Amino acid sequence: MPATFVVVVLALAVTGVVSAKLGGAGLGRAVCRPVAGGALAMAITFGVEQLVGATVI
């Protein structure tokens, strides 16, 4: 689980960097937005899995 989280966060950061370069936007906001949103979504999903006791593959 931790390795997956790290890889996904890195991929989201790369996506933010690419979008900032292509769109001419500021790098900080373009990287923080997908990283924060993705990390929050993963945390919520993990929390729901723990509450329900199910594992989604």
pLDDT tens digits along 9-55? 999 999 999 999 999 989 999 999 999 999 999 999 889 888 988 76
Question: What 3-state class would DSSP assign to 46?
Answer: helix
Burial level of 16, CB count in 10 A (0-12/13-18/19+)? buried
pLDDT band at 56 (very low <50, low <70, confident <90, very high): low
Question: Distance between CA atoms of 47 and 45, rounded to whole angstroms?
Answer: 5
CA distance 45 to 54: 11
pLDDT at position 22: 94
